[in-house]
Structure 1
Amino acid sequence: MIREEEIILHMLNDFCHHQSSEWFHELDKDSYDQDKLVNILIAQGLGGLASYQLYNKSHLLIQPKILNHMFLQDVFMSVNQADLLKEMTTYFEEEKIPFICMKGSVVRDSYPEPSLRNMGDIDIVIHYEDRFKVDHIMMDLMGCKKMVDNHSVWTYNIKFLTVEVHNHMFYEKLSNDFDYIGYFDGVWDHIKNAEVFGVSSPYLYVPEENYHFLYLMVHTAKHIINKGYGFRAFIDMVMYTKKNELDWDYLKKELKNIKLLSFTQVCFAFCERWFGVTMPLSVPLDEKFYQEISAKVIRDGLFGLENEDNIGAAEAKVYKQGKGSYFVTMLDHIRRRLFPPYEEMQLIPWYKFVDGRPWLLPAAWVYRWGYCLVKKKDESMDKLLRPYKAKDKIEERIGYINHWGL
């Protein structure tokens, strides 16, 4: 582990124990690369948190100024997101639209200073039948611009703020054989009223603590299977389990039911090693796997990057979901890339003309083939042939998923 990574983990260890990191100011400046340290923190979305850890009146001027700027930016975003949610809630109340806040807007209250848990958008869940009312509120009354409409997620933007409106809490198949979409469609049976960003309303809900924890683990698994996840997801686990009185007997049983017990145990083991905390569920970690994942988390940044580590991630996920041999599964994967189904094509902006007109699907395929051949032939051929050209990388990725307990 390089020096900069050691410093970051020491800092995060302090944060999880509610201790400041004043030792940082005594470090020999030649013992680490400040630019490299700052770049890692920015990529991990932890610049503001690091500034909070390093704050000391006598040393404020010698900490990297960009970290202090990121702290102020996080606070600024938090204040504006609170105002946005307050305005939304007023309109939702008038129209009697119930909605559920989830993810960062809920987890942030587990942090010693909520604005330290920065978030790029506000995620809410609504009933599908309320989507037109919500559309009217967001666009006509609040002046937002709709950025995405894919029949299940509507993304609205106003200035520098973003709101994602969902009618499902979860959307994807993971690498194990369980219906997470159907499971989390039951969220409306597991909600309670609570303040979010200091805003409360009889129409504003959050998931019950145990249920939301299960969702956080599924959401983490999704990112790790797809491309990767940064340290923040694991800090969330520590903060959330410390702040809330969770029923671990129930959770252990439910995690086993949804096929994520082994994964959660591995995640908690990393939390213990990285942050020096004691977690309720944990297992011994293979030392080689620990070293590899620690380095990968650093390289991946907050949400996973397109890098050497993640070559074959999509194919490995497909194989884990498949029932047949590698050859048969990958052949079917190539077929789906050549002939994507209507359910996928209708959501892609360039092929919107098929939405509601499935008979136009062949025309969309031809258009897609032509565009790929003319505009990005090499990239398209690489993706098409990757199951065979990068078989070793894909098999390595499959082993990586298995090690995570997925």
Structure 2
Amino acid sequence: MITETETAFLAVVRAFLTEEKAALGELAALTEKQWNHLFVLAAQHSLLPAVYDVVGKTPEFAELPDELRRQVKTQAMQSILQQVSRTALFLTDEKELEQLGVQPLVMKGIVCRSLYPKPDLRPSGDEDLLIQAKDFAAVDAYFMRKGFVRDKEAAMPDGTKDGIVPEEMGYIHPKTGAFYEIHTRLFSTESSAYGYLNRAFSDVFAHPSRVEVQGQSIFTLEETHHLFYLLCHSFKHFLHGGVGIRQICDMVQMIRIYGRKIDWEMFWQLCEEYHMTCFCINLLDIGERYLGFSYEASGAVRAAKKLRPDSEALLIDILDAGSFGKSSAGRIHSANITLYAAETGAEKHTAGGIWKSLVPEASYMKNKYPYAARYPFLLPAAYVQRILKWLGQGGKEQKSSIEVGAGRVELLKKYDMIRTADGKKRGDAHAGRIQREK
């Protein structure tokens, strides 16, 4: 069961999403220690500004120690100011990219923020843009001219070579802190755990949607595919260590705003094809039970497949995970155990999963150890460094990562997120087309 503090946290998030004005009875019984934990949860899930906006004027908050109230307010306001600044910078950069003849599709980030009643209170650390591979050189040159630095410089020290285009590249500005992730593929094709998901988005540039953000029109995914992308993105993070409650809020808000524009027959068809139905039904059950989501009020259609939601175990994992499953070292180190299970169909924690955690794919190692990307002959040294680091953690930490991984493999089984025993690939029948008339 979730704790009193977690119940209060979810009630506050619900009040923010729905602009609820009624007093929150869940706050009345919280001790100072529980209030501290509530704010820790809010920070871990990147929702501190939203939580402060709801509780900051309550009588319960006013009774907390001055230092705690001051600290929470300061952190919340700093986050808001950073978000306002980054939004303004992004809109400028996005417009300039369009003037260069590049038409990016804006993912998550600013698009998800625009779904909230108070967009600047839903912070995000970066902006994601999907571009066509043919445009990468122009986009890379643009960011270099603007003074950005590639976050994977070791993997591409001299820019693109021989026409090779990376699937993902991050750009950070050392002065403004603006950070963009540029994608030519939504999911890494090197990952057998989720690389196949790209098939569902193969023609999204042919059918984009426009959204208005602060008076500027930007392109993003068509609504049905955007909701499915948010689900797939949550699935990816779930495999990597955990998905936080903010990503569930994004899905809920997407449906609240665009529920009547979404082709629900197509959406549930995609969920079936990619074995996401059980996962999605339970995520939306969390939305119904705790976040004020309503199928009927939003115009959403329930899945034809009759599955009885059982979301408690999923919610407990989500609350423990934080925004991107990085709430603890044990959870971070367990990620490759769950990835191994998703890749191979292994239905229980095995020695292979532990080995996969210690010796992941070369692409993963090159991201984690830049010297191995710049000098491939040093890749074996990177593996040795990783293994020694794990061995040096001590028995308690090693046991923790294994236990977390084993428990999360059980969740993959419970929510039907492991490949079928016959090895059938998900999404084989899907050609990525928008299957309705525009």
Q: 1:344 to 1:61 in 2, by over 3 A?
A: closer
Structure 1 counterpart of 2:71, from 66, 75, 92: 66
The structure whose residues are more often helix, as a share, is: 1
Q: 1:99 to 1:62 in 2, by over 3 A?
A: farther
Question: In 2, Cα distance between the equivalents of 1:284 and 1:250?
Answer: 21
Asked if 1:107 corresponds to 2:112, the answer is yes
Matched letter for residue 404 of structure 1? Y
Query: How many Å apart are 1:176 and its aligned residue?
Result: 6.6
Q: Which residue of 2 aligns with 1:322?
A: 344
Query: How many Å apart are 1:197 and its aligned residue?
Result: 4.7
Q: Which residue of 2 aligns with 1:357?
A: none
> Comparing 216-225 with 1-10, which one deviates more in the overlay?
1-10
Question: In 1, Cα distance between the equivalents of 2:324 and 2:309?
Answer: 23
Query: How many Å apart are 1:258 and its aligned residue?
Result: 2.5
Structure 2 counterpart of 1:162, from 165, 168, 179: 179
Structure 1 counterpart of 2:151, from 132, 147, 166: 147
Q: 1:376 to 1:187 in 2, by over 3 A?
A: same
Please state whether the residue corresponding to 2:242 is helix, strand or coil. Answer: coil
Please state whether the residue corresponding to 2:152 is helix, strand or coil. Answer: strand
**Matched-pair identity in %:** 18
Structure 1 counterpart of 2:251, from 213, 217, 237: 237
Query: How many Å apart are 1:395 and its aligned residue?
Result: 4.5
CA RMSD of aligned residues (A): 3.6
Q: 1:35 to 1:381 in 2, by over 3 A?
A: closer
Question: In 2, Cα distance between the equivalents of 1:65 and 1:370?
Answer: 46
Q: Which residue of 1 aligns with 2:391?
A: 378
Structure 2 counterpart of 1:268, from 271, 276, 284: 284
Deviations along 1:335-365, one digit per CA (max 9) or x if unpaired, are 8965955x556655112345xxxxxx5x334
Question: In 2, Cα distance between the equivalents of 1:392 and 1:7?
Answer: 28
Please state whether the residue corresponding to 1:53 is helix, strand or coil. Answer: helix
Q: Which residue of 1 aligns with 2:263?
A: 247
Aligned ranges for residues 198-209 of structure 1 at < 5 Å?
198-200=215-217, 204-209=218-223
Please state whether the residue corresponding to 1:194 is helix, strand or coil. Answer: strand
Q: TM-score, normalised by structure 1?
A: 0.80
Question: In 2, Cα distance between the equivalents of 1:25 and 1:319?
Answer: 38
Matched letter for residue 124 of structure 1? L
Aligned ranges for residues 178-257 of structure 1 at < 5 Å?
179-200=196-217, 204-244=218-258, 245=260, 246-257=262-273
Q: 1:31 to 1:3 in 2, by over 3 A?
A: farther
Matched letter for residue 238 of structure 1? V
Query: How many Å apart are 1:304 and its aligned residue?
Result: 1.0
> Comparing 105-114 with 61-70, which one deviates more in the overlay?
61-70
Structure 2 counterpart of 1:402, from 385, 396, 413: 413
Q: Which residue of 1 aligns with 2:309?
A: 285
Please state whether the residue corresponding to 1:352 is helix, strand or coil. Answer: helix
Structure 2 counterpart of 1:258, from 247, 261, 274: 274
Question: In 1, Cα distance between the equivalents of 2:60 and 2:359?
Answer: 58
Question: In 2, Cα distance between the equivalents of 1:304 and 1:325?
Answer: 21
Asked if 1:119 corresponds to 2:130, the answer is no
Question: In 1, Cα distance between the equivalents of 2:404 and 2:309?
Answer: 23
Kept after mapping to 2: 8 A contact 1:44/1:232? yes
Question: In 2, Cα distance between the equivalents of 1:120 and 1:70?
Answer: 15
Aligned ranges for residues 86-101 of structure 1 at < 5 Å?
86-101=91-106
Query: How many Å apart are 1:58 and its aligned residue?
Result: 8.4
Kept after mapping to 2: 8 A contact 1:22/1:54? no
Query: How many Å apart are 1:26 and its aligned residue?
Result: 7.6
Deviations along 1:13-61, one digit per CA (max 9) or x if unpaired, are 3233320364469825647632222112111211110122135498986
Structure 2 segments unaligned to the other structure (5+ residues): 156-165, 418-438
Question: In 1, Cα distance between the equivalents of 2:282 and 2:112?
Answer: 21
Structure 1 segments unaligned to the other structure (5+ residues): 355-360
Q: TM-score, normalised by structure 2?
A: 0.75
Kept after mapping to 1: 8 A contact 2:248/2:283? yes
Q: 1:377 to 1:79 in 2, by over 3 A?
A: closer
> Comparing 223-232 with 169-178, which one deviates more in the overlay?
169-178
Please state whether the residue corresponding to 1:4 is helix, strand or coil. Answer: helix
Kept after mapping to 1: 8 A contact 2:224/2:267? yes
Matched letter for residue 78 of structure 2? Q
Deviations along 1:184-237, one digit per CA (max 9) or x if unpaired, are 24321231333345423xxx4211111100100000111112211221111112
Q: 1:197 to 1:119 in 2, by over 3 A?
A: farther
Question: In 2, Cα distance between the equivalents of 1:336 and 1:29?
Answer: 39
Aligned ranges for residues 324-363 of structure 1 at < 5 Å?
334=355, 340-341=361-362, 348-354=369-375, 361=376, 363=377
Asked if 1:303 corresponds to 2:328, the answer is no
Question: In 1, Cα distance between the equivalents of 2:406 and 2:19?
Answer: 41
Question: In 2, Cα distance between the equivalents of 1:152 and 1:177?
Answer: 14
Asked if 1:128 corresponds to 2:130, the answer is no
Number of aligned residue pairs: 385
Q: Which residue of 1 aligns with 2:14?
A: 13
